[in-house]
Structure 1
């Protein structure tokens, strides 16, 4: 058994993800991503189940594993109880750990997620927050974000949000004690280490050391 196969099997999620795939293709038939992208969960399961190290290596370096939307429709239909979507999460984690994600256009977008979503959660407790959206990076939705941010003091109460307020409600200020706990979770579970790896691999691959510049380039697909 090769190193990549061992990494897969060492992840507890792998044991739940794939048991006895018979290549029926039900997962691909039900998959929303397969309808719009060059993505076939059946083929991915087949490659992994055959323990083909070369093909697994190729999977980890290509766009395919990043097309899955994690809806888990595959789980509901598989006659053998496999979960291709869960297998994808394992492949993604290995790709991130080894830095292979930087080899693909979709994969390197992990830097943008690590910087934006990761930083947001650790600093303010939200994945996305109006205060942190750069409307200029969103050609289609940007004008709406801009208008929303300019009028948020009036809009938020009408939507039931508690903008920067104490107590319950969306967009409330997260308590200091809660944020300390969130950051402790990142530290203990290895989240901080993984985020740092993603950032380091992406910077080394592109040669761009400035976080903001790399984010802009990755987000707009201009890393070449």
Structure 2
């Protein structure tokens, strides 16, 4: 049995690391680094660069592993994700070996739209998992645009592109943060009276941001997103929509 620390590392900027995160990195015997395929090699490199910058413990080993891909032949979405998580857990187990203290560097924060905790539950009891919080892409987005996440006394919703596309603008709120959107699902809603604050690679040197009335800048964001993805081979983006 091993202890697992999930370390939020922010959105790719080494300055996002907290002192707690640096301490946790240096306490690990093994640090797992996922490889997500040739097109996303720089995601692994960013994690490795963080380790080169802050890792001072010579006894800590870095172990890279290939991340399995989802089986798209499984039609049910939830079943497809559960199968994927099972296979990731098996890969983790093989990579960990007999290490007693293991760490995994998690993009953003492990608590928000991230499956690392669910995968960890397949291998480690809750009491043996420690979470080190990190800067989320939401924080990086609002900081990049210099805006507040919510209006005075008002709630907001964090949702996915899939839900926005299928269900429209969330009911009961005027502010929605949309993550995990590979299709620019804001195109599916009525743009009248809606403002968008969009960003890709937020917090990183490659950061690109656009803001304005959705009716005026929506098409520009679609085009820019496609160009940036082609240039880098991958893209991570997020946006905030506000009505009124």
Calculate the TM-score normalised by the size of structure 1. Answer: 0.32
Relative to its length, the structure with more strand (as a share) is 2
Calculate the TM-score normalised by the size of structure 2. Answer: 0.30
Relative to its length, the structure with more helix (as a share) is 1
* Higher CA-based Rg: 1
